[in-house]
Structure 1
Amino acid sequence: MRINCTLNLKRRINNHKQSGFSMLEVLVTILVVSFGLLGMAALITTGLRSNNTAHYRSIATQQTLDIADRMRANLTGVRAGNYDALTAVIPVSADCVAASCTAVQMSIYDQAQWNRANSVLLPGGVGTVAGNLAAGFLITLMWIEKEMGGVADPACPVGTAVNTRCFLTRFSP
C-alpha cells in the first residue's frame, strides 16, 4: 500500500510542474486587448464624424424646405422673377414682419432671413437659388466640412473651395 501511495504522489508532482501564466502569455494578451481597444476608438471616431455630417445634411434639408416654403408663400414674387437669381450675399431688407411689404420687398426679406439662418446654422453656410418658374429652381446650399479631408465635393460648381460640401435640390413651386 505504501508503494502505491508513493507512486501516486510522484505522478501528481510530475504533472504539476508548470503552474500560472508566463510573462510571454501576459504580454500577448495585453497586445491583443490593445489592438481591440484601438479598433473601438477608431470606430467611435468614425461614428462621431458621420454623425456630424448627417447633422449638417439634416440642417441643409430643413433650410432647403425653408426657402421653398417662402417661395410658395410669395407666388406673386416668384411669377415676377424675384427669386430667379438669389445670391449668397445677405441684402439689406425691410422688416416684413413689422410692416406690410410688396412682393419684391418680401423676396429680398426672404433672401436675407434665409442666408442669415444659413450662416448661423451651418459653418460658413451660404445659399443660392437659380432658375425660373417655367424650368424650375435649383436651390444650392454650401458649407465648410472639415471631415472631407481637403477634397472637393463633385456636386459643387467648378471653382468651389476644397472642404466645401454642396447640397443641391430641384424645386418647382
Structure 2
Amino acid sequence: MNKNGINNMNGFHLDNGFTLLEVLVAMVVLSVGLLSLAGLQVVGLRTGHSSYLRTQATIQSYDIIDRMRANEGGVEYYNKPTQTGSAGTEDTDCETVTGCSTASMAAHDLFRWNQAIDDVLPGGVGVVCVDSTPEDGDPTNPACDNVGGGNSATATYAIKIWWTDDKAAGTQQLFATSFRP
C-alpha cells in the first residue's frame, strides 16, 4: 500500500492527474467534432434553400408554359423580348370565361406570372421570348434574339427567370428552358 492508500503491485508510482488530462483531450476532440457537425448543418441548410429557389423557378416556368398552351390562339402575344418583371397588365375580364381576347389573356397571364415570380423568388423577374440561345442575358438585358421564330406554332420560345440567391453569396441565378407550344 502506498501513501495514498492505493495498492501498487508492481512497485511503480502512479501518476496523479493523468486521467484528468485524458478527459480534457477527449473534450477537445468531442468539441471539434461537434463544431464540424454544426458547420455541415449550416452548409446543408444553405444548399437546401438554394435548391428550393431553383425548384420554384422551375414551377414558374411550367406555369407560363401551361398558360401559353391554354391560350393557343394568342401564343405570339407572349413574346416580350425586352420586358422583364413588368410585362403584361391585369385584366379582370380574363378572370371569367367570357370577355377576354387572346391578346388580353396573354397580357393578363404575363402579369399574373410576373407577380408569382416576384412573390416566390427574391429579386425574381422573368421573360418569355423567341430566342435561339436561352442561357444568356440578364434581367436588364434578356438577350432575346428573336431567331427561330417562324410562325407562332413552330417558334421555339425561351422562358428565362432570374433571382438573387442570398444563400449563395447574393449571386444572380438564371433558370432557362425552351419549348414549342
Same fold (TM over 0.5): yes
- Does the 8 Å contact 1:139/1:170 carry over to 2? yes
Question: What are the ranges of 5 or more consecutive residues in structure 1 without an aligned counterpart?
Answer: 1-8, 151-162
**Counterpart Cα distance in 1 of 2:74 and 2:48:** 38
Equivalent pairs, count: 151
Instruction: Indicate how the Cα distance of structure 1 residues 11 and 60 shifts in structure 2: closer, same or farther if over 3 A, else same.
Output: closer
**Counterpart Cα distance in 2 of 1:145 and 1:125:** 10
**Over the residues paired in the alignment, what is the CA RMSD in angstroms?**
2.3
State the AA in 2 paired with 1:109: H
Query: Does residue 35 of structure 2 align to residue 59 of structure 1?
Result: no
Q: Which residue of 1 aligns with 2:175?
A: 167
**Counterpart Cα distance in 2 of 1:171 and 1:128:** 14
- Does the 8 Å contact 1:90/1:116 carry over to 2? no
**Counterpart Cα distance in 2 of 1:93 and 1:129:** 17
Instruction: Indicate how the Cα distance of structure 1 residues 14 and 143 shifts in structure 2: closer, same or farther if over 3 A, else same.
Output: same
Q: Which residue of 1 aligns with 2:29?
A: 32
Tell which has more relative contact order, 1 or 2 (C-alpha 8 A, sep 6+): 2
Among 26, 45, 50, the residue aligned to 2:47: 50
**Counterpart Cα distance in 2 of 1:170 and 1:164:** 20
Instruction: Indicate how the Cα distance of structure 1 residues 104 and 62 shifts in structure 2: closer, same or farther if over 3 A, else same.
Output: same
1:15 deviation in Å? 5.5
SS where residue 14 of structure 1 aligns? Answer: coil
- Does the 8 Å contact 1:115/1:127 carry over to 2? yes
Larger Rg: 1
State the AA in 2 paired with 1:170: S
Instruction: Indicate how the Cα distance of structure 1 residues 11 and 66 shifts in structure 2: closer, same or farther if over 3 A, else same.
Output: closer
**Counterpart Cα distance in 2 of 1:43 and 1:142:** 28
Structure number with higher helix proportion: 1
Q: Which residue of 2 aligns with 1:112?
A: 111
